[in-house]
Structure 1
Amino acid sequence: MKLRKYVVTTVALFALLSMSLAACGSNGSNGTAAADGTLVVGADQEPECLDWIATCGGTSWGSWAALVTTLPQAYFSHASSGSSAAYVYEPSPLLAGEATVAPGDKQIITYKLNPAAVWSDGVAITSTDFKYTFDQIMSGNDIYDTTGYANIESVATPDPTTVVVSYKERFAGWKGLFGSGYGIMPSHLLEGKNRNALMKDGYTFSGGPWKLDGGKSGWKKGVSISLVPNENYWGTKATIKKVVFRFITDTSALFQAFKAGEVDFLYPQPQPDWFPAVKGGIDGATIKATADTSSVEALWLNNSKPPFDNESVRKAIAYSLDRDAIVKRLFGPLGVNKAWQSFNPPIVAAYADPAGFSGYTLDLAKVAELMSSQGYAKGSDGYWAKDGTKLSFSLKTTVGNKRRELTAQILQAAFKTAGFEMKIKTQDAGVLFGKTGPSGDFEMTLYAQVATGPEPGNCAIFCSVNIPTEANGGSGNNWTRTNVAGLDELLAKVDIETDTVQRISDSKQADLLTGLSATSIPLDPLPNTLIFRNSIRGPVADNATMGAFWNMNLWTLKG
Structure 2
Amino acid sequence: MKPRVWIAAVSLVALGACSTGGGAVTDRSAAPSARPVTQGGSLVIGAEQEPDCADWIATCAGAIWGTYTMQVPTIPQVFDTRKVGGVWAPVPSDMMAGEPQATMQGGKQVITYKISPKAVWSDGKPISSADLKYTALQIRDGDDIFDKTGYDRIEKVDTPDAATAVVTLKSAYAGWRSLFSVYGVLPAHLLEGKDRAAIMKDGYSFSGGPWKIASWQKGTSVTLVPNDKYWGDKPKLDKVTFSFLPDTSAAFQALKSGQVDALYPSPQLDAINQIKAGLPGIQSQVDPQSGSLEAVWFNNAAAPFDSAAVRQAFSYAIDRKAIVQRIYGGLGVTQVAQSFNTPIVGAYAGQDFSAYQLDLGQVDSLMTGDGWAKGADGVWAKSGQRAEFTMVSLAANKRRDLMVQILQEQLKTAGFAMSVKTETPANLFSKITPKGAYQAGLWSLVDTFPDPTLSATFNSANIPSDANGFSGINFIRAKADGLDGLLEKVDTTLEVPARTEAAKQADAVIAKDALSLPLDTVPLVLLWADKVGGPLAINPVEGPFWNLEQWGIAS
Does the aligned pair in 1 maintain the 2:462–2:471 contact within 8 Å? yes
| Deviation (angstroms), 1:36 | 7.8
C-alpha distance in 2 between matches for 1:388 and 1:460: 36
C-alpha distance in 2 between matches for 1:332 and 1:277: 14
Which runs of structure 2 are paired with 1:432-451 in the superposition (5 Å)?
432-451=428-447
C-alpha distance in 1 between matches for 2:487 and 2:518: 18
Partner of 2:157: 155
- Distance of aligned partners of 1:316 and 1:88 in 2 relative to their CA distance in 1, 3 Å threshold: same
Selected match of 1:428 from 414, 424, 429: 424
Partner of 2:523: 527
Provide the secondary structure at the position in 2 that maps to 1:233: coil
Partner of 1:366: 362
TM-score where L is the length of structure 1: 0.93
Partner of 1:507: 503
Partner of 1:335: 332
Q: Does residue 315 of the first structure (1) align with residue 312 of the second (2)?
A: yes
Does the aligned pair in 2 maintain the 1:252–1:402 contact within 8 Å? no
C-alpha distance in 2 between matches for 1:103 and 1:138: 21
Gaps of 5+ in 1: 24-32
Which runs of structure 2 are paired with 1:282-321 in the superposition (5 Å)?
282-321=279-318
C-alpha distance in 2 between matches for 1:313 and 1:290: 35
C-alpha distance in 2 between matches for 1:253 and 1:36: 28
Map Cα deviations across residues 285-318 of structure 1 (whole Å, 9 max, x no partner). Answer: 2111211111111001100111111111111111
Which runs of structure 2 are paired with 1:30-109 in the superposition (5 Å)?
37-80=41-84, 83=86, 86-102=87-103, 104=105, 106-109=108-111
Which runs of structure 2 are paired with 1:110-509 in the superposition (5 Å)?
110-179=112-181, 181-213=182-214, 218-354=215-351, 356-509=352-505
Map Cα deviations across residues 228-274 of structure 1 (whole Å, 9 max, x no partner). Answer: 11111111111211111111111211212111111111111021122
- Distance of aligned partners of 1:360 and 1:78 in 2 relative to their CA distance in 1, 3 Å threshold: same
> Segments of 4+ in structure 1 off by > 4 A?
33-36
Which deviates more from structure 2 when the two are superposed, residues 503-512 or residues 169-178? 169-178
C-alpha distance in 1 between matches for 2:544 and 2:52: 20
Map Cα deviations across residues 72-110 of structure 1 (whole Å, 9 max, x no partner). Answer: 1011012225x3xx1111111111111123465542111
Compute the RMSD of aligned alpha carbons: 1.8
Percentage identity across paired residues of the two chains: 47
Which deviates more from structure 2 when the two are superposed, residues 288-297 or residues 272-281? 272-281
Does the aligned pair in 1 maintain the 2:40–2:237 contact within 8 Å? no
C-alpha distance in 2 between matches for 1:102 and 1:369: 52
Map Cα deviations across residues 512-531 of structure 1 (whole Å, 9 max, x no partner). Answer: 00000000000001121111
Partner of 1:26: none
- Aligned residue identity for 1:201: D
Does the aligned pair in 1 maintain the 2:12–2:521 contact within 8 Å? no
- Distance of aligned partners of 1:379 and 1:173 in 2 relative to their CA distance in 1, 3 Å threshold: same
- Aligned residue identity for 2:154: I
Does the aligned pair in 1 maintain the 2:10–2:524 contact within 8 Å? no
Does the aligned pair in 1 maintain the 2:393–2:442 contact within 8 Å? yes
Map Cα deviations across residues 441-499 of structure 1 (whole Å, 9 max, x no partner). Answer: 11111111101111100000000000001011001110000011110110111111111
Provide the secondary structure at the position in 2 that maps to 1:110: strand
Does the aligned pair in 2 maintain the 1:71–1:184 contact within 8 Å? yes
Provide the secondary structure at the position in 1 that maps to 2:135: helix
Provide the secondary structure at the position in 2 that maps to 1:424: strand
Partner of 1:17: 17
- Distance of aligned partners of 1:262 and 1:158 in 2 relative to their CA distance in 1, 3 Å threshold: same
| Deviation (angstroms), 1:22 | 5.6
C-alpha distance in 1 between matches for 2:277 and 2:366: 48
| Deviation (angstroms), 1:8 | 2.1
| Deviation (angstroms), 1:434 | 1.8
C-alpha distance in 1 between matches for 2:186 and 2:466: 26
Gaps of 5+ in 2: 24-36
- Distance of aligned partners of 1:136 and 1:103 in 2 relative to their CA distance in 1, 3 Å threshold: closer
C-alpha distance in 1 between matches for 2:311 and 2:17: 37
C-alpha distance in 2 between matches for 1:165 and 1:393: 46
- Aligned residue identity for 1:296: L
TM-score where L is the length of structure 2: 0.94
Which deviates more from structure 2 when the two are superposed, residues 337-346 or residues 389-398? 389-398
Which deviates more from structure 2 when the two are superposed, residues 472-481 or residues 250-259? 250-259
Partner of 2:29: none
C-alpha distance in 2 between matches for 1:389 and 1:56: 35
C-alpha distance in 1 between matches for 2:101 and 2:10: 40
Provide the secondary structure at the position in 2 that maps to 1:255: helix
Partner of 1:547: 543
Does the aligned pair in 2 maintain the 1:48–1:431 contact within 8 Å? no
Provide the secondary structure at the position in 1 that maps to 2:20: strand
Does the aligned pair in 1 maintain the 2:12–2:522 contact within 8 Å? yes
- Aligned residue identity for 1:184: V
Provide the secondary structure at the position in 2 that maps to 1:542: coil
Provide the secondary structure at the position in 1 that maps to 2:354: coil
- Distance of aligned partners of 1:141 and 1:130 in 2 relative to their CA distance in 1, 3 Å threshold: same
- Aligned residue identity for 2:137: D
C-alpha distance in 2 between matches for 1:367 and 1:103: 50
C-alpha distance in 2 between matches for 1:17 and 1:384: 42
Does the aligned pair in 2 maintain the 1:78–1:544 contact within 8 Å? no
Map Cα deviations across residues 116-143 of structure 1 (whole Å, 9 max, x no partner). Answer: 2111111111100000000100111111
Does the aligned pair in 1 maintain the 2:212–2:226 contact within 8 Å? yes
Which deviates more from structure 2 when the two are superposed, residues 187-196 or residues 72-81? 72-81
Partner of 1:29: none
Map Cα deviations across residues 164-194 of structure 1 (whole Å, 9 max, x no partner). Answer: 1111111112112101x21111111111111
Does the aligned pair in 2 maintain the 1:399–1:428 contact within 8 Å? yes
